[in-house]
Chain A
């Protein structure tokens, strides 16, 4: 589903963030990306949805070869990937419903399809009763559930999360994790960069540790430790 072969990334300012990464992630996997701050986790993730392009190396996502795809095909790639961030990235002037519907409107979906799908995902994240709320009327955990709902509303084959629990207390973090596990159980690949030791050590999944832009460890049921 996601393959990288000898991928390097140097930013224009000369910082070398990723230094020769090769991985293979299969459909339906749940993968943690761990590593110290500045190790290159976010850079690694951004290259998957083509926010950043590698300086060297090949990346395949689904049937897309990111090196040879046309600029105009990027929207199609993004539609097959859901993204979730630490800061939720909700639009403050839109209700919960509108924030999620927004992701379908850009695909020019019909009104009734949108309504049905949005209500379906709100059911999954258990926020049906808050559809008309504005983001600032929700708790952090609820906002993150809205952003997860938005990430999955177009049925992507992979959901990528960059520190989704970074702003949340431990209890709320677990709510989010159970939700992600639920989504993973439906067959969606989950890729999650995190600093949360407890979660990684308790909810055991594949762990890829990145150190200085290189993979230092890749365990099928690993723990949080990333020092080599």
Chain B
């Protein structure tokens, strides 16, 4: 029974820890991506300087817009050619007939507003086209929500199982010590005094159950991180470095373990202390 309840805590915390790492990493991706979620507004090549000014003003006046940056096509080309490094010289002749548009780089106040802002700008005069990382973004939000919901349901289910098993383990100890408790009450022990050892037992079971998950997840994540950072990482999917993640996770797991243990113990002691 003791083994069963400790392993229930272990399994529960393994899942909690794994999901926590997943969610923290997804949030991290989202943060990184957020900087990338800018709308590029390609200005019609026919537009006069005054049209461009008007367009710039119109965009800035949208309430959901945080920042607007103007990149004239010459500057865009410079950046492009510089970015080519060694091969830059092959592109030098583009300067004779610059194929690029002037561009407004627009940042929405909230990432979620990006789509709506892009649509509004698209309807304005002198706009050739708008572009933003639409799909990646929508998928990411959907994935985050999905992981959160599944994780939450799974964790809640396991949490109650663990609490229940701990409560049962402690009930056995209580039954074994029933006579002792009865005598304690007869000689005037307070409920708090009687509860104390069971409180400690629950706490120990919970904390004991958190040790293995912490070791496994720490080791596992370290290995995983080393593997992916050794290989070339995907362009914007960088993972959180272990140091920043593992302390949080370990702390959370110990606390959740302790709470579950104490909760289970209080649950089973409560019934026995009613006179």
Given contacts A89-B183, A91-B183, contact A106 B193 (CB under 8 A): yes
The DSSP consensus for interface residues of chain B is: helix
- Check B179 against A106 for contact (C-beta < 8 Å): no
Question: Is B28 engaged at the interface, CB distance under 8 Å to the other chain?
Answer: no
Closest Cβ–Cβ distance, residue B174 to chain A (whole Å): 15
- Check A89 against B179 for contact (C-beta < 8 Å): yes
Given contacts A89-B182, A91-B179, contact A74 B187 (CB under 8 A): no
Question: Is A97 engaged at the interface, CB distance under 8 Å to the other chain?
Answer: no
| Residue ID in chain A nearest B187 by CB atoms | A103
Q: Bound state CA distance, A89 and B184, in angstroms? A: 11
Question: Is A32 engaged at the interface, CB distance under 8 Å to the other chain?
Answer: no
- Check A71 against B186 for contact (C-beta < 8 Å): no
- Check A49 against B186 for contact (C-beta < 8 Å): yes
8 Å CB contact of A106 from B182, B189, B275: B189
- Determine the chain A residues whose CB is within 8 A of the CB of B275 once the complex forms: 50-51, 71, 74
Q: Bound state CA distance, A50 and B185, in angstroms? A: 11
Q: Bound state CA distance, A226 and B99, in angstroms? A: 119
Q: Interface residue count for A (Cβ, 8 Å)?
A: 21
- CB contacts between A and B, total, < 8 Å: 45
Per-residue CB contact flags for chain A residues 49-62 toward chain B (1 = under 8 Å, else 0) read: 11100000000000
Closest Cβ–Cβ distance, residue A81 to chain B (whole Å): 8
Size range of the chain B interface in the assembly: 10 to 19
| Residue ID in chain A nearest B190 by CB atoms | A75
- Check B183 against A107 for contact (C-beta < 8 Å): no
- Determine the chain A residues whose CB is within 8 A of the CB of B179 once the complex forms: 89, 91
Q: Bound state CA distance, A72 and B193, in angstroms? A: 12
Question: Is A102 engaged at the interface, CB distance under 8 Å to the other chain?
Answer: yes
8 Å CB contact of A107 from B180, B186, B188: B188
Q: Bound state CA distance, A83 and B182, in angstroms? A: 12
Q: Bound state CA distance, A78 and B193, in angstroms? A: 14
Closest Cβ–Cβ distance, residue A160 to chain B (whole Å): 10
| Residue ID in chain A nearest B182 by CB atoms | A89
Q: Bound state CA distance, A47 and B190, in angstroms? A: 19
- Check B188 against A78 for contact (C-beta < 8 Å): yes
| Residue ID in chain A nearest B189 by CB atoms | A106
8 Å CB contact of A78 from B180, B186, B191: B186
| Interface hits, B184-211 → A, CB 8 Å | 184-191, 193
- Check B186 against A75 for contact (C-beta < 8 Å): no
Q: Bound state CA distance, A154 and B116, in angstroms? A: 78
Closest Cβ–Cβ distance, residue A12 to chain B (whole Å): 14
8 Å CB contact of A79 from B180, B182, B188, B191: B188
- Check A91 against B188 for contact (C-beta < 8 Å): no
Per-residue CB contact flags for chain B residues 85-116 toward chain A (1 = under 8 Å, else 0) read: 00000000000000000000000000000000
Q: Bound state CA distance, A96 and B213, in angstroms? A: 45
8 Å CB contact of B188 from A51, A72, A89, A154: A154
* Known pairs A72-B190, A106-B193, A154-B187 / 16 extra A-B pairs, C-beta < 8 Å: A49-B186, A50-B275, A51-B275, A71-B275, A75-B188, A75-B189, A78-B185, A78-B188, A79-B187, A83-B186, A89-B182, A89-B183, A102-B183, A102-B184, A106-B188, A106-B190
User: Closest 7 interchain pairs by CB?
Assistant: A106-B189, A79-B188, A78-B188, A103-B187, A75-B188, A75-B190, A106-B184
Q: What are some 22 contacts across the A-B interface (CB < 8 A)?
A: A72-B190, A72-B191, A74-B275, A75-B189, A76-B188, A78-B185, A78-B187, A78-B188, A79-B187, A89-B179, A91-B180, A102-B184, A102-B187, A103-B183, A103-B187, A106-B189, A106-B193, A107-B188, A107-B189, A150-B187, A154-B187, A154-B188
